[in-house]
Amino acid sequence: MEVTQPKKVWMDGKLVDFAQARVHVLAHTLHYGVGVFEGIRAYSTPEGGAIFRLSEHVDRLIESARFYHMPVAYSRSEIEKAILETQVANGILPSYIRPILYRGEPGLGVKNLQGKVSLSIGVIGASKYLGDGSDAGVRAKISPFRKPHSLAVPSFAKATGNYLNSYLAGIDAQKDGYDEAILLDKGGNIAEGSGENIFLVRDGTLYTPGLESDILLGVTRDSVLQIARDLGHPVVEKTISVNELLSADEAFFSGTYAEIAPIREVSHYQIGSGKVGPLTQAIAKVYYRAVHGEEPKYRSWLTAFPVAKAVAAARA
Ligand X SMILES: Cc1ncc(COP(=O)(O)O)c(C=O)c1O
For residues 89 and 7, the answer to whether their CB atoms sit within 8 Å is yes
Catalytic residue among 7, 158, 238, 297: 158
Select from 91-99, 108-116, 195-203, 281-289 the region that touches ligand X (CB under 6 A): 195-203
CA distances from 20 to 7, 26, 59, 85, 123 (A): 10, 17, 28, 18, 15
158 noted as active-site residue: yes
Beta bridge partners of 228: none
Of 170, 148, 173, give the one whose Cα is nearest residue 161: 148
Distance of CA 215 to the CA centre of its chain: 12
Q: Which of 218, 272, 277, 293 binds ligand X (CB under 6 A)?
A: 218
221 binds ligand X (CB under 6 A): yes
Please tell me whether the peptide bond between 94 and the residue prior to it is cis, using omega within 30 degrees of 0.
yes
Residue 99 CB, shortest distance to ligand X, in Å, is 12
Q: One symbol per residue from 241 to 270: x for binding ligand X (CB under 6 A), - otherwise; what is it?
A: -------------xxx--------------
220 binds ligand X (CB under 6 A): yes
For residues 40 and 96, the answer to whether their CB atoms sit within 8 Å is yes
216 binds ligand X (CB under 6 A): yes
Q: One symbol per residue from 99 to 138: x for binding ligand X (CB under 6 A), - otherwise; what is it?
A: ----------------------------------------
Of 130, 162, 157, give the one whose Cα is nearest residue 147: 162
Whichever of 105 and 222 has its CB closer to ligand X, that residue is 222
Q: Which of 45, 90, 95, 166 binds ligand X (CB under 6 A)?
A: 166
Element of type H or E holding 228: helix 219-230
Identify the three-state secondary structure at position 110: coil
The conformation of residue 55, written as its DSSP 8-state character, comes to H
39 binds ligand X (CB under 6 A): yes
Q: Which residues bind ligand X (CB under 6 A)?
A: 39, 166, 192, 195-197, 216, 218-221, 254-256
Catalytic residues, by residue number, are 158
